[in-house]
């Protein structure tokens, strides 16, 4: 992997990741941009202990532009974008409308492909591996910044999820605090250790591997399964067999196998509602895909894993979070985990 670092016209950092060692990335950003001015504020909810980010400057961010004005496509004559080069493989740059910035963390955008109408599921294993390498590099770089407690790599896909740019992309957040879900998992892992002497995530993986009715796909180094108490209609967790705290600790064998398992999962998700017998005009499955990594402090029990889920529960129905879920955080799932796993296994049949 070759890493080329440059600056955008307003001073934000942009990084090209290329598979070829001789790739040249020196196109300048000629746009007349003013410096980014953001002032997010962190406020602690005293009732729950959760940190809330107030980022009112994001009200003016780009919202669903037409394809010919996409800021994530490569720059074309007369159509400059966030990526100055005429082509790219994987690009990471600082978000122009960040939720977190300065001493309050950092937000980055990860572009997986220059193809506006593509998607992660359509990448080759080699390109997916390059994205994994970029995620790993950003985890190492951002995790070493002063004040950063947790690095969170994720992808939102689909208007149903709330995506404001349809070009295939993800994000990386460097949080100055431990996120609520990670704090809950860390506390649960500590309680599990005290009660059983074992690691919670190792035991969850072992239980899943002993429950074939919940396994979706498996390889030599990774297993994908529907959790026993899944919150979402179709939710899959992907674990490496060897417990590691974050992406930087994966070995070469694990990195080599990951793209094949992950692309398989994404294609299964897409076939859930667009396969044989699907309704006319059915769209690709909206989803959230997120890496959970151990925070800098107090996260020694937490194991790296990826969680992938969709808010779609049927071809024409969404899982809308209503009073119980949104108001009380008490999830109610309409599809049993075993049924969801079976449908995902059958999706590519």
Report d(CA 206, CA 193) in Å as an integer: 15
Neighbours of 203 (CB within 10 A): 13
Is 71 within 8 Å of 65 (Cβ atoms)? yes
- Orientation of helix 125-143 relative to helix 252-274, angle to 10°: 120
- The dihedrals phi and psi of 7, each to the nearest 5 degrees, come to -125, 145
Q: Which residue is catalytic, options 169, 192, 221, 237?
A: 169
> Within 13 Å and on the Cβ side, how many CA atoms surround 218?
16
Report d(CA 240, CA 219) in Å as an integer: 9
- Hunting for tokens 């299964």 — which residue is that? 268
Report d(CA 210, CA 204) in Å as an integer: 10
Is residue 169 annotated as part of the catalytic site, yes or no?
Answer: yes
Angle at CA of residue 306, ends 300 and 310, nearest 5°: 140
Q: What is the dihedral of CA 95, 13, 305, 275, to 10 degrees?
A: 60
Is 49 within 8 Å of 88 (Cβ atoms)? no
Report d(CA 109, CA 154) in Å as an integer: 10
Q: What is the dihedral of CA 75, 80, 85, 89, to 10 degrees?
A: -50
Residues 6+ apart with CB under 8 A from 287: 155, 156, 157, 158, 161, 266, 269, 308, 309, 310
Residues taking part in catalysis: 169
């Amino acid at each position: 992997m070759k890493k080329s670092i440059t600056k955008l016209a307003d001073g934000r950092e942009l990084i090209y990741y290329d598979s070829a060692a001789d790739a040249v990335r020196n196109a300048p950003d000629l746009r007349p941009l003013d410096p980014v001015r953001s002032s997010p504020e962190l406020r602690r909810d005293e009732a729950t202990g959760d940190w809330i980010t107030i980022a009112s400057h994001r009200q003016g961010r780009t919202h669903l532009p037409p394809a010919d004005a996409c800021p994530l496509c490569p720059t074309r004559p007369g159509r400059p974008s966030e990526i100055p080069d005429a082509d790219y493989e994987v690009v990471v740059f600082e978000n122009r409308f960040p939720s977190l910035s300065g001493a309050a963390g950092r937000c980055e955008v990860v572009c997986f492909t220059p193809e506006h109408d593509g998607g992660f599921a359509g990448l080759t294993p080699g390109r997916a591996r390059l994205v994994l390498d970029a995620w790993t590099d950003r985890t190492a770089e951002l995790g070493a910044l002063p004040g950063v407690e947790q690095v969170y790599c994720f992808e939102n896909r689909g208007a149903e999820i709330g995506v404001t740019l349809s070009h295939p992309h993800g994000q990386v957040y460097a949080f100055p605090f431990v996120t609520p879900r990670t704090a809950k998992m860390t506390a649960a892992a500590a309680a599990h250790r005290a009660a059983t002497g074992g690691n919670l995530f190792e035991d969850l993986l072992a239980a899943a591997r002993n429950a074939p009715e919940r396994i979706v796909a498996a390889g030599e180094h990774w297993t994908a399964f529907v959790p026993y108490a899944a919150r979402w209609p179709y939710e899959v967790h992907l674990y490496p067999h060897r417990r590691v705290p974050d992406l930087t600790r994966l070995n070469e064998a694990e990195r080599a196998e990951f793209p094949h398992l992950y692309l398989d999962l994404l294609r299964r998700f897409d076939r859930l509602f667009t396969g044989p017998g699907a309704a006319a005009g059915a769209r690709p499955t909206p989803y959230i895909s997120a890496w959970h990594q151990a925070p800098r402090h107090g996260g020694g029990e937490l194991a790296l894993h990826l969680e992938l889920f969709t808010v779609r529960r049927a071809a024409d129905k969404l899982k809308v979070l209503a009073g119980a879920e949104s108001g009380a955080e008490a999830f109610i799932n309409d599809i049993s985990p075993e049924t969801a796993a079976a449908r995902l296994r059958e999706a590519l049949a």
